[in-house]
Structure 1
Amino acid sequence: MAKIYIIEDDPKIRTELSLLLAKYGYECRASDSFEGVVDAVLDDEAQLLLLDINLPVLDGYHICREIRQRSDMPIIMVTSRDSDVDELMSMNLGADDFITKPYNTQILLARISSVLKRTYQGGGSKTISHGGVTLDLSRSVASHEGREVELSKNEVRILHLLMKHHSTILSRDAIMNDLWQSNEFVDDNTLTVNITRLRKRLETIGVHEYLITKRGQGYMV
């Protein structure tokens, strides 16, 4: 079964959650220190993160943002704050699911199972090609002339969108709305960072000047 990392500041809840997940076969990791917790999570190489929003030192939003910039690890936000804004913020920052305390344990287990299957047990190969580049959506891999590079979730989504609409300029707002449904809570720099990283990854397989910036208009391939 998968390894799950728990970030929860309430010791009682953390222990109960760890025991519950262990009972159902999951390997659990948790930390009672929140200094350097992002590095601790990534170093542990867990398959899923259960992340509370209300935390000391750094809140769950900050941790989610930091992890998503460095990893595609699936994240389920767990919070006692029952607010549409909290859920929207979580999704915009790259969380894969959101559940509110007090939660039904069977629903939590079902959400965990669903996210893990969606992330690690994708269906058959689904590809799209344009201009000598092939994107394999089932493996999150871009290839060119026999060379491959693995892409992050957001990089796949951006490249897929641009390839579907190749030879057409897509505005920054159009891309952000497609990726995050709403750009109200998304820092404009988030898209720039993802575009820059995507370009660098494509360059590692010999693809240069593929993703074109149209100043003041948007991007195209």
Structure 2
Amino acid sequence: MASIFIVEDNQAIISEIKTELSKWQYQVKTVTDWQNVAGEIQESGADLVLFDITLPSFDGFYWIQEVRKQSQVPIIVISAADIDSNVMHAVAAGADDYLMKPFSMTVLVAKVQALLRRNQQTGDSDQLEWAGNRLNVLTNELTNDRGTAQLTPTEGAMLAVLIHNCDRTVSKEKLLEWLWQGGKYLNENTLNVNISRLRAKLDTIGLKAALRTERGVGYRLVTDYD
């Protein structure tokens, strides 16, 4: 049974989410100490975290960054703030997806299920390789002779798709279909920001030119990038 940790201070919203997730047999945990949000998430062993932005102590952006220092647990941001102005900040901080209040419980459950399922799909091997680079699909660590880049679950999943299609262009539609149930519940900004964040991490280990943008079509991971 998967465990969901809710970082939200509105008790009415917590109750509604908890009731809905319980119908799907998810265990739900919430914050008890607003000065130790990241610590409680780590101790809970949660499989996914739902994060509000406006919180009693530090804001959600701060706590997401703190969580990312010690965990790659999937994160969905839920916020009343305008999605276009905040999605870049939220995803840059380490979130995997974004949902704007007020939202449908059906959409929330769909996002939770998709992210949990994607995080559990590891294929036939724990390691994927291309051109001397190795991706551990369990830990989302990308390594080569220049170092190691720690990816989030979403970044790791995107890279896995691109590796499986190495030297072939993968359309945005195909990425959305594989990662987020056809993009039915996804703002495309989330995909764009995740691609930008993935590219930045590739750059840290000398792979800046390995991920190409095919303008108006999609993305291509190449073997010849030197």
With structure 2 as the length reference, what TM-score do the two structures score? 0.63
The match for 1:153 is: 151
Alignment check: 8 A CA contact 1:9 1:32 kept: no
Post-superposition offset of 1:33: 3.0
Name the CA distance, whole Å, in 2 between partners of 1:77 and 1:141: 23
Q: Residues 178 and 83 (structure 1 numbering): CA distance in 2 closer, same or farther, change over 3 Å? A: closer
Matches within 5 A, 1:29-108: 29-108=29-108
Q: Residues 101 and 177 (structure 1 numbering): CA distance in 2 closer, same or farther, change over 3 Å? A: closer
> Rg bigger for which structure?
1
TM superposition outliers: structure 1 runs of 4+ over 4 Å: 141-144, 154-157, 176-179
With structure 1 as the length reference, what TM-score do the two structures score? 0.64
Q: Residues 129 and 121 (structure 1 numbering): CA distance in 2 closer, same or farther, change over 3 Å? A: closer
Name the CA distance, whole Å, in 1 between partners of 2:92 and 2:5: 21
Q: Residues 102 and 182 (structure 1 numbering): CA distance in 2 closer, same or farther, change over 3 Å? A: farther
Give SS of 2:49's match. Answer: strand
Post-superposition offset of 1:182: 9.2
Which stretches in structure 1 are left out of the alignment for 5+ residues? 145-149, 165-175, 184-190, 196-210, 213-219
Post-superposition offset of 1:4: 0.4
Post-superposition offset of 1:151: 6.9
Equivalent residue pairs, number: 171
Post-superposition offset of 1:181: 7.3
Question: Percent of counterpart pairs with the same letter?
Answer: 26
The Cα RMSD (Å) is 3.7
* Alignment pair present for 1:127 and 2:128: yes
Name the CA distance, whole Å, in 1 between partners of 2:90 and 2:79: 11
Name the CA distance, whole Å, in 2 between partners of 1:137 and 1:104: 35
- Letter matched to residue 135 of structure 2: D
> Highest relative contact order (Cα 8 Å, sep 6+), 1 or 2?
2
Which stretches in structure 2 are left out of the alignment for 5+ residues? 160-165, 167-192, 207-224
- Letter matched to residue 129 of structure 2: I
Q: Residues 178 and 77 (structure 1 numbering): CA distance in 2 closer, same or farther, change over 3 Å? A: closer
Post-superposition offset of 1:26: 0.2
Name the CA distance, whole Å, in 1 between partners of 2:93 and 2:70: 13
Alignment check: 8 A CA contact 1:6 1:51 kept: yes
